[in-house]
Structure 1
Amino acid sequence: MPVIAVTGHLDLAPDTARAVRTALDALLAPYPAAELTGVSCLAPGADTLFAEAVLARGARLLAVLPGPDYPPPPTDPADRAAFDRLRAAAHRVLVLPATRLDPAAYAAANDRLLHLADRLIAVWDGRPGNGPGGTADMVAAARAAGLPVDVLWPPGSSRTGRLP
């Protein structure tokens, strides 16, 4: 039973989000829904798009949350609604014990995702990251662990530069 985790940017431009969702659907298509589990932290952007694609296939979703206070306020109402909907639809929700949602908490959540996964999908522009807990860090850790990594960055993709 394949377990596929996701990492990726939060600040995808709208056209990029649509292209990424199409690419995710194509990447997940070969996996029978009854055998697939997707693992996501349910963050805005790539994580949400992946979780939606997993559920649209009828597969199981495992949510890994960095702490009981995730997502941190203030949260955009649309992002919060998506998070709440996806969390409710998840087959299982694993809440880590972080009392502060800092880079260490996000790095711990990423570490848990990698330990659960057979493969990682990275919605990543290939640029260096902002340190522990970010997309570049997650890709490097997956590769160091020998985990297969599929990088998705459709031609013409861009980021808004505005983080949720």
Structure 2
Amino acid sequence: MLIREATPADWPAIWPFLREIVAAGETYSWDRDTDEDRARALWFKPAPGRTFVAVDEDGTVLGTAESHPNQAGGGAHVANAGFMVDPRHSGRGVARALCAHVLDRARADGYRAMQFNAVVETNDRAVALWESLGFEILATVPEAFHHPHKGYVGLHIMHRGL
């Protein structure tokens, strides 16, 4: 697996699984009917934001990540990131590899920490993965996310130093 900066040419491979994940409404707090133009703008943020793809040996996009400052001004030294793996390639270590890459890149870019503002508490695989990579749950905002099957569930705020 190779992880590299994404280019606009990668979008046609990202959009189908990003759309599927967002429409499911189980892990992202985006509008479930987010259209393609809005999704592209949210995922490909302007600099200093970065977008990455994980690809296999034949160039198939397996997953994607984006990172950016968590806040502006005095809070810009803390990074934030989002990750999406094509469900057809789940369980192959794509998210772990993407997160390790994003953490290394954020450190190299001068960020002092990374914070996830909204990890859905019922997303057990993601929570376990982030914890295994050194993130801690700082707080859980009760009933901050309306899960389509589980009702109102909490959102974790997770953090780790770089």
TM-score (normalizing by structure 1): 0.35
- Structure (1 or 2) with the greater helix fraction: 1
Structure with max Cα Rg: 2
TM-score (normalizing by structure 2): 0.35
Bigger relative contact order, structure 1 or 2 (CA pairs below 8 A, ≥6 apart): 1
